[in-house]
Amino acid sequence: MKHILQQPIWRYYDQSISAKQRSPLESFATDDTLCQLVGQSLSPPTIRTWVHEASVVLGIQDHRLPYVQQGMELLESRGYHPIVRNSGGLAVVLDEGILNISIVLSEQKESLSINDGYDVMVELVKGLFPEVAEKIEAYEIVGSYCPGSYDLSIEGKKFAGISQRRLRQGVSVQIYLCIEGSGSQRAALIRDFYEHSLQQEETKFTYPQIMPEVMASLSELVDPNLTVEAVVIRLQQLLNYWAEEVRPQSFYDEELALYGFYLQRVFERNTKMLERK
């Protein structure tokens, strides 16, 4: 997958600081905008970094929990703001110790399979952490939150999860990397959310039974001095190595109108989801 990462031009949109106090919903709108721009060849392939303050992003199935309101109240009492995304996947934690990375590619000239998209991100992560690259594995970690076949782990401890968004011939492959803090404490938060939201009631959908001990951060697994800022610097260095040119760019004025369209759509969908309960 290195050939995909070795682009002539990478656009780089760093929101690892600027997005912190904004809603994660804005990040979903940003990636949708980039999907269209890159997919329609209006922008070069793009890598975006983003960090948000304490939030829990719930999926559609989470919002169907029988006592989800009590679960959301628990999250708020712990200092986490719950939001609902109108897509698949299950609850994930966002906070200042978690770095999110999006790789946005175009399918206009060459299609990218689901597995290819995941493999590109795995290759990127291994490039970011060469000291443990051989130890990083991709398979479902049972007992983790938002489990999936491309959970990334070291010696059975999950530190990242990958998802994809496809829109207008654009593909956004997104990862959350638990860099700082305690992975097990974040997992315990989601375990408590499910306990309060289920209250032992049987449901058609099988929600994960969280085992906090199977999750950890990279500062726990690799280097106690590892920080989000340090990983952002590693990423910038990798991009400069892979690309002939790196263009640090936020949205242009003409792109902001498209972003406004997607932002309104994301917020309207979130409002409708909240009204349904």
150-184 pLDDT per residue, tens? 999 999 999 999 999 999 899 999 999 999 999 99
- Residue 59 pLDDT more than 60? yes
At 273 the pLDDT is 72
The total number of structural domains that make up the chain? 1
* CB 178, CB 160: distance < 8 Å: yes
Edge-first strand order for the sheet with 92-94 is 81-84, 55-58, 92-94
Marked catalytic residue, from 92, 146, 162, 239: 146
Is residue 178 flagged as an active site residue? Answer: no
* CB 115, CB 135: distance < 8 Å: no
Whether residue 1 lies inside any domain: the answer is: no
At 272 the pLDDT is 76
Q: Which long-range contacts (CB under 8 A, 24 or more apart) does 223-231 make?
A: 223/131, 226/179, 226/180, 227/179, 227/180, 228/16, 228/51, 228/96, 228/97, 228/98, 228/99, 228/179, 228/180, 229/16, 231/99, 231/128, 231/177, 231/179
pLDDT per residue as tens digits for the range 253-263? 999 999 999 99
Q: Residue 238: give its domain's CATH number.
A: 3.30.930.10
Whether residue 98 lies inside any domain: the answer is: yes
Whether residue 130 lies inside any domain: the answer is: yes
The amino acid occupying position 138 is: A
pLDDT per residue as tens digits for the range 14-31? 999 999 989 999 999 999
Range of the domain at 91: 7-276
* CB 207, CB 198: distance < 8 Å: yes
Stated pTM of the model? 0.94
pLDDT per residue as tens digits for the range 189-235? 999 999 999 998 999 999 999 999 999 999 999 999 999 999 999 99
**Can you tell me the distance from the alpha carbon of 275 to that of 11, in angstroms, rounded to the nearest whole number?**
38
Whether residue 240 lies inside any domain: the answer is: yes
Q: Which tokens is 122 given?
A: 């795995």
Whether residue 68 lies inside any domain: the answer is: yes
Whether residue 2 lies inside any domain: the answer is: no
Q: Which tokens is 227 given?
A: 């920080």
Whether residue 79 lies inside any domain: the answer is: yes
